């Protein structure tokens, strides 16, 4: 029965029961963490054979004869460019392979917009203001990057199809201070939704008032399916679609192997138009003499091609799919008939997005924290850490063991029930 349909007496009785149950759980002194999308140690271990690809006796020359132990090649060895390009569904000629972090590449591109501008446009540091569109709920680290540079961030509601494109089109067409937009097109963080073809086509066809407007297209989860068959399909080619409208310069695409091999020691890539790639390479020659080519080489020799990546990702899915299913089954069992929340049922990615119907995400977070379960902070999935409706929480199932996850999710559900009952009764403390 829905909590909102119960009378006050019944709710008071339920609250007392929930509070007693909560105090018992609190007394267990749990120390569980569902705050970050980290692979578990046994999941990371499936990639350890990558480390065996190079030894002191290995041939460490790339296919074009480059000595991977020495300086040079700022844009990545050819076979690594092809591997990452095939994974992202782009051209190797328009791909640059760098170090381990795609977030680092995104930060650099925002920074270049401020310090030098793009393709001859005025640097953003000379402008009175700079704005970015931010689909919400979204990735907290995207928002931290733009906040770091003093960017004004505008919330764009996200639906099952992707960002509200009516809103995006109107804002971009009429405001020259809107210089960028964050997007996670596949298994989006945290909702897990994949943008529809129509949404991607509308993004590619945008008519921005700012000629230096850029879409920061973070394709972080391009091969991160939980159920396998999605790994055999790709998003439409955003660059080919954008080229139909002369918009190929409008997109920076990013990805990495951070959740494919090693979160702290993978390889990353940026894809862009001919003009943008030329400009980025020019900057890179000042910034570095070359990234870790030995790491690029060992990744290529391990995977060999995109087929090797897909096989490897099925191993990852076997680790994390049961964890997602465990969380979802507990949420449905404990909350499904109470009308206190809604949650996504993702087919891939690393997160489950939960919305409290009683707009009490901060109270749920605190109850979990006080009883020993750490979540990503309430509000973190919105710019400036401010969820205007105080309803969204991000659940990260991948790091805990199944047993830990069961305990953590049951406590989460208990916290949702208790916070919701208190909210319905009008309690604010």
Residue 231 has pLDDT above 80, yes or no: no
Q: Is the pLDDT of residue 340 over 70?
A: yes
pLDDT digits (tens, 9 = 90+) for 394-406: 999 999 999 999 9
**What is the distance between the alpha carbons of residues 35 and 43, in angstroms, rounded to a whole number?**
17
User: Measured between alpha carbons, how far is 78 from 73 in angstroms, rounded to an integer?
Assistant: 10
Q: Quick one: what percent of the chain has pLDDT higher than 90?
A: 97
Q: Residue 228 has what pLDDT?
A: 79
pLDDT band at 213 (very low <50, low <70, confident <90, very high): very high
Average of per-residue pLDDT values in the chain: 96
Coil, strand or helix at 323: helix
What are the extents of the domains in the chain?
3-43+311-424, 61-304
Each residue's pLDDT tens digit, 95-107: 999 999 999 999 9
What's the pLDDT at 417? 98
pLDDT score recorded for residue 416: 98
Confidence class for position 230, pLDDT limits 50, 70, 90? low
75 to 143, 348, 403: CA distances (angstroms) = 27, 30, 44
> What's the confidence (pLDDT) of residue 429?
58
Average pLDDT for 74-78:
98
Please say whether the beta carbons of 192 and 161 come within 8 A: no
CATH number of 61-304: 3.40.640.10
In this structure, the strands spanning 214-218 and 178-183 are parallel
Each residue's pLDDT tens digit, 297-328: 999 999 999 999 999 999 999 999 999 999 99
CA distances from residue 423 to 10, 368, 420 in whole angstroms, order as listed: 14, 16, 5
Lowest model confidence (mean pLDDT) among 230-234, 346-350, 374-378: 230-234
* pLDDT confidence band for 36 (50 / 70 / 90): confident
State the pLDDT confidence band at 229, using cuts at 50, 70 and 90: confident
pLDDT band for position 1 (50/70/90)? Answer: confident
Instruction: Give the CATH class of 3-43+311-424.
Output: alpha beta
Residue 296's pLDDT band, with cuts at 50, 70 and 90, is very high
């Amino acid at each position: 029965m829905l909590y909102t349909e119960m009378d006050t007496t019944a709710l008071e009785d339920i609250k007392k029961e929930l509070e007693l149950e909560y105090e018992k759980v609190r007394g267990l002194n749990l120390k569980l963490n569902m705050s970050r999308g980290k692979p578990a140690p046994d999941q990371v271990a499936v990639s350890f054979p990558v480390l065996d690809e190079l030894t002191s006796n290995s041939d460490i020359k790339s296919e074009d004869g480059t000595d991977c132990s020495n300086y040079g090649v700022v844009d990545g060895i050819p076979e690594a460019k092809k591997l990452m390009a095939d994974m992202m569904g782009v051209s190797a000629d328009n791909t640059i392979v760098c170090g381990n972090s795609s977030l680092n590449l995104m930060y650099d591109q925002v920074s270049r917009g401020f310090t030098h501008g793009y393709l001859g446009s005025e640097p953003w540091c000379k402008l009175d203001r700079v704005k970015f569109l931010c689909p919400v709920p979204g990735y907290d680290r995207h928002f931290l990057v733009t906040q770091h540079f003093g960017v004004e961030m505008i919330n764009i509601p996200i639906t099952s199809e992707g960002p509200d494109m009516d809103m995006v089109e109107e804002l971009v067409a009429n405001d020259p201070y809107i210089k960028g937009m964050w997007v996670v097109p596949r298994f989006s963080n945290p909702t897990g939704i994949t943008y529809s073809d129509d949404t991607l086509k509308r993004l590619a066809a945008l008519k921005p008032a700012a000629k230096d407007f850029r879409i920061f297209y973070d394709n972080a989860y391009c091969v991160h399916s939980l159920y396998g068959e999605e790994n055999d399909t790709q998003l439409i080619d955003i660059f080919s679609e954008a080229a139909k409208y002369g918009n190929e310069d409008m997109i920076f695409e990013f990805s990495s192997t951070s959740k494919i091999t090693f979160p702290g020691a993978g390889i990353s890539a940026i894809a862009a138009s001919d003009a943008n790639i030329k400009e980025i390479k020019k900057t890179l020659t000042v910034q570095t003499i070359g990234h870790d080519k030995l790491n690029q080489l060992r990744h290529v020799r391990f995977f060999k091609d995109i087929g090797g990546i897909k096989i490897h990702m099925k191993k990852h899915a076997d680790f994390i799919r049961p964890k997602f299913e465990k969380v979802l089954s507990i949420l449905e069992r404990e909350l499904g008939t109470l009308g206190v929340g809604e949650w996504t049922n993702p087919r891939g990615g690393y997160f489950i997005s939960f919305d409290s119907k009683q707009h009490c995400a901060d109270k749920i977070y605190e109850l979990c924290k006080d009883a020993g379960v750490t979540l990503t902070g309430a509000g973190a999935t919105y710019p400036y850490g401010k969820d205007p409706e105080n309803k969204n929480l991000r659940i990260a199932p991948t790091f805990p063991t199944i047993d830990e996850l069961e305990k953590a999710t049951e406590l989460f559900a208990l916290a949702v029930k208790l916070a919701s009952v208190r909210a319905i009764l009008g309690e604010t403390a």
